[in-house]
Structure 1
Amino acid sequence: MSTPHPDAPDVIRSAYAQLGVTDLAASRWFWVDMLGFHVQHEDAGTLCLRGSDELTHHSLVLRSGEQAALDHIAYRVRTPDDVDKAEKFFTELGRPVRRVPKGQGTPGVGDAVRVIDPLGFPVEFFYDIERAERLIQRYDLRHGAEIARLDHFNICTPDIPAAYAHYQSLGFGCSETIEGDEHELYAAWMYRKQTVHDVAFTGGVGPRLHHLGVATHESHQVLRAADLFGSIRKEHHIERGPGRHGVSNAFYLYLRDPDGHRVE
C-alpha cells in the first residue's frame, strides 16, 4: 500500500457512480431488466440501484437530465471525521469543494463532500449510507445478468503520472501498470479494497469516464448477458467481448447503455 498524505481522508472503497441519462425508462430497461440490478429507490427523476451482494442503499444512481454525462463518482471513507478531512484536504489543494448535508444530496447518503479533484473529476466522499435488505440468498429475485456488485471505475485522463500521484496521496496501492521502454506511465490500476482495483486510469482525452466495472458471481452470467441482448435483437448494445484481459485475467463483456455509457 502507498503511504497516504497525513491530511488525506481514509478511503475504504469505490462506492457508487451517479450518471445523467436522457431517458430514464430506457435506462431502467438496460440496467434493471437486462443487467439485473435491484431497484432500491425510484421517483420521477431518479433510480437508485444495487447488486444482489450489496448491503448498502445503492452502487449506481441514474438521474434524468438533458444530456448523458457523469455526475460524480463516490468513495466511502472510514469514519465521519474523514468526511471533514476530505473537505479540508481538497480545500487546501485549492480545489472546488461543496458540503452536501444529509437529505440534500443523493437519496440514502448522509453528510458528504463533493469536490472537483486535481484531475478534473467530480468526486464525492461520504461515510454514512442507509443499509439495505440482504439479498445474497434471495435467488427468487435474481434476474437478467444477475449483477452482484460494483467493482471499479475506469477513467480517462491525459496525465497518468498526475493521476497516479494523486491516488497515492489518498493511500491507494497499485496492482498493475502499462509502461513504455523508459518507464513512461501509460495506464495504472489502483485499489483500496482487496480486489485488483477500485479505479483505473487510461491515457487519453479527459477528464471523462471510460466505463463502470461491475461483477458477477460466475462467468456464465457474462455469457448470459450477451445471450439476452442477442435474443431480442439488441446486440448493438454489445461493444466488445466476451473475452479475457488484465492482470486478473477477468472474463469480461463491454456493453453500452441507451445513452452510450459504457459498462464492463
Structure 2
Amino acid sequence: MEYRVLPEIAKLGHVAVVSTDLEKSLWFFKEVVGLEETEEVDGVHYLRAWGDFEHHTLSLTAGDESRVEHIAFRTKRPEDVGYFAELLEEAEVKVEKVPAGVEAGQGESIRFQLPTGHNFELYFEMDQTPADPSRKARLKNQTYKAWRKGISPRRFDHVNIATNEDANLIIDFLVEKLGFKVREYFKLPNGATGSAWLSVTPLVHDIAVMSSPDVKSSHELHHISYFTDNAQDILRAADILTEEGFKFIGPGKHGITQAIYLYIIDPGSGIRLELFSNSYLILEPDWKPVEWSIEEAEFAVTYWGEQTGGASELDKPTINAGGEMSIKI
C-alpha cells in the first residue's frame, strides 16, 4: 500500500475500567479525586478532569471482576484510524471495528491487542462536550471550574502497563506499529530493554512499559495518571487523602521523568492512580533516549521520598488489561 502520509497517534485518550464496587469507585474518582462526570449512559459513567476537553478520559462500569476493558489513543487525522487498521491487519494483528456510538461521545474506532494481550483502541472522532452552566469555567480555554472539589487534577497524563513477559514485545510493537518514541529506558545486563517510557507527544511519556516475573499476567495495568499543576498540589492531595483515611505512597520525586508523584489505590476497582506533577517536556526532534542501568534503578525510580519498589502493599497490585476483546461496553 502507498500512503501520502503515514498514520499517526496524537495523544492518550482514555481508559475504560470495570469495577467490582462501582459505588466506591464513583465516590473515589468524583468526590475525592474531583473528576467531573460528563454523563451516564446504560450504566457506564464517563468522567474527565477540569482541563480535559474530550467527552471522557475515564469510564467506569460495574462488573464481577475488576479489569481494564481497553486503553484508548486518539489519532491525528480521521483517516488514520482506517490506515492503522490496514497496517495492523497486514501485520496479522486481529482488528475489531467498533461502530460510532458504542462508546458514548465517540465515533468509529478499532480495537486490537498487543502481543502480550493488552487491549488497545484507536479513534479520532470524540465529542468535546461543554460543561453544564453550574460547573462551566468562566475561562474559555478550560472546561470546568478548577478546584471545585477534591484533589482536582488538571488533565489525564499517562498510563503504565505491566507484563510478566519480555517488555520488548510491547516496546517494539509500540515503536514499529504505532509510532511511539522511546524517551528513557532501563538496559538489562543482557543488553535488552527491561522497562521504557515512550511518547508520541512532547510529554516525557504517554505510556510506560514495565516487566517483572512478579506481575500476575502478561497483560496488566500498573497505573493510570492524572496531572496536577505543581508540587504544592501533590502536598494538598496528601492532606485530602489523609483526611479521608487513605494510605498512599509519596509524595516523592522520580529520577526518570523528574516528576513529583503520589500513588493511591481506588477502593472500588483496585486500580492504582498516580497523581503526577512537574516532569519535563521533550521538544528536540533528535532526542536521544536516556539509558539507565539496573544498578541505577533505586536512584532512577525514586530520586527522593518514599521508595516505590516493595515498600508497601500499594506497590504490588496490578489490574488485568487484556483478555477477550469485545465491542460491548
Give TM-score scaled by structure 2 length: 0.73
What's 2:119 paired with? 122
Q: What's the offset of the Cα at 1:86?
A: 2.1
Q: State yes or no: 1:162 paired with 2:169.
A: yes
Q: State yes or no: 1:112 paired with 2:109.
A: yes
Q: Structure 2 regions of 5+ residues with no counterpart? A: 131-135, 275-329
Q: State yes or no: 1:252 paired with 2:261.
A: yes
Q: Match for 2:201 among 173, 177, 193? A: 193
- 1:141-163 Cα deviation digits (max 9, x unpaired): 62111111111110012211222
Task: Determine if contact 2:71/2:120 at 8 Å carries over to the other structure.
Answer: yes
> Residues 228 and 217 (structure 1 numbering): CA distance in 2 closer, same or farther, change over 3 Å?
same
Higher strand share: 1
SS in 2 for 1:248: helix
Q: What's the offset of the Cα at 1:109?
A: 0.7
- 1:122-169 Cα deviation digits (max 9, x unpaired): 110000000133743753662111111111110012211222211111
What's 1:15 paired with? 13
Task: Determine if contact 1:7/1:85 at 8 Å carries over to the other structure.
Answer: no
SS in 1 for 2:86: helix
Shift >3 Å, 4+ stretches: 5-9, 137-141
SS in 2 for 1:67: coil
Q: How does 1:1-264 map to 2 (within 5 A)?
A: 9-43=7-41, 45-103=43-101, 105-133=102-130, 135=137, 136=142, 138-139=144-145, 142-157=148-163, 158-169=165-176, 170-204=178-212, 205=215, 206-233=218-245, 235-236=246-247, 238=248, 240-258=249-267, 259-264=269-274
> Residues 140 and 73 (structure 1 numbering): CA distance in 2 closer, same or farther, change over 3 Å?
closer
> Residues 56 and 146 (structure 1 numbering): CA distance in 2 closer, same or farther, change over 3 Å?
same
Letter in 2 for 1:118: P
Task: Determine if contact 1:24/1:45 at 8 Å carries over to the other structure.
Answer: no
> Residues 181 and 141 (structure 1 numbering): CA distance in 2 closer, same or farther, change over 3 Å?
closer
Task: Determine if contact 1:189/1:199 at 8 Å carries over to the other structure.
Answer: yes
Task: Determine if contact 2:97/2:109 at 8 Å carries over to the other structure.
Answer: yes
Distance across 2 between alignment mates of 1:214 and 1:147: 6
Task: Determine if contact 2:51/2:144 at 8 Å carries over to the other structure.
Answer: no
Q: Structure 1 regions of 5+ residues with no counterpart? A: none
- 1:91-139 Cα deviation digits (max 9, x unpaired): 2222222111111x21111010111222311110000000133743753
- 1:204-259 Cα deviation digits (max 9, x unpaired): 232110100110112222122221121132x23x2x11111043321100110012
Give percent identity, aligned residues only: 30
> Residues 6 and 227 (structure 1 numbering): CA distance in 2 closer, same or farther, change over 3 Å?
farther
Distance across 2 between alignment mates of 1:87 and 1:140: 38
SS in 2 for 1:228: helix
SS in 1 for 2:256: coil
Letter in 1 for 2:153: I
Task: Determine if contact 2:114/2:170 at 8 Å carries over to the other structure.
Answer: no
Letter in 1 for 2:46: C
Distance across 1 between alignment mates of 2:154 and 2:59: 16
Give TM-score scaled by structure 1 length: 0.90
Task: Determine if contact 2:53/2:143 at 8 Å carries over to the other structure.
Answer: no
Q: What's the offset of the Cα at 1:57?
A: 0.6
Distance across 2 between alignment mates of 1:100 and 1:263: 28
Moved more, 53-62 or 174-183: 174-183
Could you say which structure has the larger radius of gyration? 2
Q: What's the offset of the Cα at 1:76?
A: 0.3
SS in 2 for 1:153: strand
Quote the RMSD (CA, aligned, Å).
Answer: 2.0
Q: What's the offset of the Cα at 1:6?
A: 9.7
Task: Determine if contact 2:50/2:145 at 8 Å carries over to the other structure.
Answer: no
Letter in 2 for 1:229: L
Task: Determine if contact 2:52/2:143 at 8 Å carries over to the other structure.
Answer: no
> Residues 176 and 21 (structure 1 numbering): CA distance in 2 closer, same or farther, change over 3 Å?
same
